[in-house]
Chains A and B, each alone.
Chain A
């Protein structure tokens, strides 16, 4: 039994201008997962999503959706896929209700008005349902894109930065809605810049950088094993790290942060450097700090560390 909603193998994309956006990406999204696809700007996330959506042509590689070949059984796959594009798109001739009825129809489904009303309601668009889309704010247009992606009830929903420009309250209600959909069996692949939200929502995470996968783990595993602890030493607002000090402490991957420095400790598996070793090395270079804290890395820290490291490794190669 194949229980993956999406399986991507060796996907490559080289654009006409010679830029390699995807350099052999493998990705597996399990059925029913809430999967985060993270990466810095230009990492290739949108290219990957746009290839699945048939907006961009792949250079080579394979993709399967629910076991079917995406590139050969396009129509079937498209009916089961809903994509929220990163770039805002709106039809200036129609109202949100009309746009949703049209989108549903284009996907081969007679518009289901009860579902359309529910979507408008859940996405905070009900009172704007009959306005022209030109009158909608940027945030509303973006929420309309979410509704458009869901209107044909796809089994796999891909959200490419769905909350950019959406205010906090609506973002929360959007996530609550996505959670509900996920619980009722919809597989969700999400890219977002709000890593805190990804950490809370997603059960699996793939990080890509420079067109390659640099991490692919369950969220829990990533946060327990990969996410380490670090030592924060506060020296005051005017703190600066000299190059010589940075070099001397490079084994601990120093990072300047809010008037102090972060130095990496070992992970929970206790490999790496112990507290005393790191603390003494730092004090011998920088003096006694005013503040000492041991902090657990969050997803953002891991993300910066992994994508930073990936860049470093490639430039050496």
Chain B
């Protein structure tokens, strides 16, 4: 039996959470503001148009997508930046030296990423609620998709952080992988509006299911059946967390 260190895991979770709270202007206020700006821009650009094929007001359609996109990006940013800052400042050695198992470390890092994602989501929704009427179709779908999405992205952030050697590497992944995938996953439009070829491509994009399922929780309609996709999304999340665990255990790119 491997001796457990719940207090250490809890401490790591708190450290990660306090870290992003200390720089909340960067980690919460800025992403919330960005999302609000998108809403503002599209409000004036699109007017009161509705989304073709879905019979939903465009703004009502857009907001859940933006919230989920912010959640995904912030969950990724939280774990990836924590690990790369650790490597650059050499403090990652305290994670390696501490009597924590790989799973305990992964869980603490991912849990903190989830907390950040939800704080950002609440910040955006709270600011918008004043101006826009946001429907709530299924809270459990929102929670489930929000949780899976931020866990998956927290996990991918860990993998990126383990792989990266400098801050630029993270920026590279962010700009060339995370941004295109989230932007093209139906945040701003219904995937039904895409040409058939791109619709086909999107079937293999996990972010598409995450955003669509999350939006379903608000507006009650979407491109997919959110209950059928839960297994897929949860499976992807589990695989990602297991991959993190395995990478950390082997010491790849962390321990020479």
Contacts and interface: CB of A to CB of B under 8 A. Distances in A.
B22 A88 contact: no
A106 B8 contact: yes
Contacts of B95: 106
Contact of B97 (A55, A91, A93, A108): A55
Given A75-B99, A78-B99, A90-B89, A103 B94 contact: yes
Given A105-B8, A109-B7, A55 B91 contact: no
B167 to A, nearest CB: 13
Interface in A55-69: 55-57
Interface stretch (B10-18, B49-57, B120-128, B151-159): B10-18
Contacts of B10: 105
B256 A56 contact: yes
A32 to B, nearest CB: 23
B79 to A, nearest CB: 15
Contact of A89 (B7, B94, B256): B94
Interface in B79-100: 85, 89-91, 93-100
B2 interface: yes
Contacts of A94: 18
A2 to B, nearest CB: 21
Interface in B233-256: 251, 255-256
Nearest to A54: B96
Interface stretch (A33-41, A79-87, A193-201): A79-87
Among B7, B96, B98, B101, chain A packs the most CB atoms within 10 A around the CB of B98
B180 interface: no
Interface string A87-101: 111111110001000
Given A53-B96, A106-B11, A93 B3 contact: no
Contacts of B166: none
B97 A87 contact: no
Contact of A105 (B11, B89, B90, B97): B11
Contact of B19 (A93, A107, A109): A93
Contacts of A98: 18
Nearest to A21: B256
A85 B89 CA distance: 13
Contacts of A186: none
A149 B23 CA distance: 27
Interface string A240-265: 00000000000000000000000000
Range class of the A interface residue count: 20 to 34
A69 B84 CA distance: 31
B8 A108 contact: yes
Given A76-B3, A102-B11, A102-B15, A53 B99 contact: no
A102 B9 CA distance: 11
A54 B7 contact: no
Nearest to B2: A75
B193 interface: no
Interface in B16-74: 18-19, 22-23
Interface string A131-148: 000000000000000001
A108 B93 contact: no
B99 A57 contact: no
A105 B99 CA distance: 10
Given A54-B96, A56-B255, A106-B11, A75 B19 contact: no
A57 B255 CA distance: 6
A15 interface: yes
A285 interface: no
B200 interface: no
A54 B255 contact: yes
B5 interface: yes
A130 interface: no
A317 interface: no
A89 B89 contact: yes
B93 A78 contact: no
9 contacts: A54-B97, A56-B256, A57-B251, A85-B93, A93-B23, A102-B15, A105-B12, A107-B8, A148-B94
Given A75-B101, A108-B99, 9 more contacts: A53-B97, A75-B100, A76-B3, A81-B97, A89-B89, A90-B89, A106-B98, A107-B98, A109-B7
The 10 closest A-B pairs by CB, nearest first: A105-B11, A89-B90, A78-B99, A106-B98, A75-B99, A108-B5, A75-B3, A108-B8, A89-B91, A93-B19
